[in-house]
Amino acid sequence: MNEHDTYENGTPDELRGIESALNRLGDAERASAPHDFEARVLERVRAGADEAPRSIPIHRHRTTARPRVVARLSAIAALLAVVGGAWFALQRTTSTPPAADNGIRLVSLEESVGDLLAAESWLDDMTSVDTTAAQDEADQIDTMIGSPWELIDTLDAAMGGEAI
Amino acid sequence: MGPALRMAESPSELPEGELSALIRAAGDGDERAWTRLVDLYARRVFALAKSRRLSAEMAEEITQSVFATIATKLTAGDYTEQGRFEAWLFRVAMNRVRDEMRRQKRQASPMDASSFALDAAPETGGQRASVEELDSLRGAMEKLSDADREIVELRHHAQLSFKQIADLLGEPMGTLLARHHRALKKLRDIIGTGSGEQGERKADAS
């Protein structure tokens, strides 16, 4: 323990117990480093990888920007196809004999509604994917917020610790 | 080299000028100098991260990241030795710990259960600290303000001198000593009353 500079006039008697306990806690935390800990730190120094600490993996769906754009375009195309199909079907049924008219209209309407519901659930999937996209963007912002610390580290180093 | 021997090492015991020589040699890529620096400081950085109840894996990752940053700056000649190496190193370490705490708070990622487990207490000076004592102390530290907690951690986990902590935090020595004194009293009061809210209120009032 770093006991070379305790209080100028010594730690007050009443606090010596808690100070010793804190020293023991510090010893315990240092001793709890895993096996071959130093070897792995040295390995990282050799690798020279200067990067932010890796987060513990969190299981969640992640997508890249390109698939999201493709999915959005596909959803829009599907919607246009459904609306166009419904309109085309209605145009055709106007020239159908009156006896079959109602039945055909009903089938056409059911198909259109079914297609619309499918498109809606697809869009819903897209929206839920977009929440992970927002999370990705928040991660990036977090990294940007963290980067000033890197800048301070660099400044500290350049000034030999003067900046702190 | 076993943990007991590593723990016995302290930079305060280094002959004068040895740390500066080590830093210069490390900057030149000397493997033995790096081994020595890692032996001197890695566990102290690890303990600083671990005291925030980060998992052992994350505490190690932070330690590795800190040393990677230090290595990059030293070998690139970006660091000018002015006797503040330790303050700089632990400043980098504190920044990494803060970043990780912020990230975990936002993502609410699950902490490793082992970080809550009672660690085996080491033999220190022939005394074996009781596991219960250490755990109650860990709990009491969480009731300190962030500023007071940092001082306690830098002092007792990172083993910095008061002068180094004052340098690092940019506080006058008198203020720092007063804050450390107040933090110890608060911890004593919290533990003395079973770390309950009553103890916390008593500590706040003192």
Distances (CA, A) of A70 to A64, A65, A85: 11, 9, 22
- Contact A33/B181, CB-based, under 8 Å? no
As a whole number, the mean pLDDT across chain B is 80
Q: Which tens digits make up the pLDDT trace of B68-109?
A: 999 998 988 888 877 889 999 999 999 999 889 888 877 765
Instruction: Kindly report the length of chain A.
Output: 164
Instruction: Reply yes or no on whether the pLDDT at B151 is more than 90.
Output: yes
How many CB contacts within 8 angstroms connect chain A with chain B?
Answer: 226
Residues of chain A with pLDDT under 50: 1-6, 8-9, 49-50, 52-63, 128-130, 132, 164
DSSP string computed for B70-83: HHHHHHTT----SS
Q: Which residues of chain A have a CB within 8 Å of the CB of B80?
A: 157-160
Q: Which residues have a Cβ under 8 Å from the Cβ of B122 and sit 6 or more positions away?
A: A24, A27, A28, A31, B3, B4, B7, B128, B129
What's the gap in Å between the CA of B112 and the closest CA on chain A?
9
Q: Which residues of chain B have a CB within 8 Å of the CB of A10?
A: none
Q: Which tens digits make up the pLDDT trace of B174-192?
A: 999 999 999 999 999 998 8
Quick one: CA torsion of A45, B4, B19, A5, rounded to 10 degrees?
Answer: 130
What's the confidence (pLDDT) of residue A61? 40
* d(C-alpha B151, C-alpha B183), whole Å: 8
Q: Which tens digits make up the pLDDT trace of B29-48?
A: 899 999 999 999 999 999 99
What's the confidence (pLDDT) of residue B148? 94
Q: B98, B183, B132, B60: which is closest to A37 by C-alpha?
A: B60
What's the confidence (pLDDT) of residue A82? 78
The ipTM of this complex is: 0.80
Instruction: Reply yes or no on whether the pLDDT at B22 is more than 70.
Output: yes
Q: Which residues of chain A have a CB within 8 Å of the CB of B161?
A: 2, 4-5
What's the confidence (pLDDT) of residue B35? 94
Per-residue b or e along A149-158, where b marks 16 or more CB atoms closer than 10 Å to that residue's CB: bbeebbebbe
Determine what percent of chain B is predicted with pLDDT higher than 70.
Answer: 75
Instruction: Reply yes or no on whether the pLDDT at B28 is more than 70.
Output: yes
Name the residue among B47, B83, B107 with its Cβ closest to that of A58.
B107
> Mean pLDDT lowest for which of B59-63, B110-114, B136-140, B162-166?
B110-114
Contacting A residues, span 30-89, partner chain B, CB-CB under 8 Å: 30-34, 37-38, 40-42, 44-45, 47-56, 58
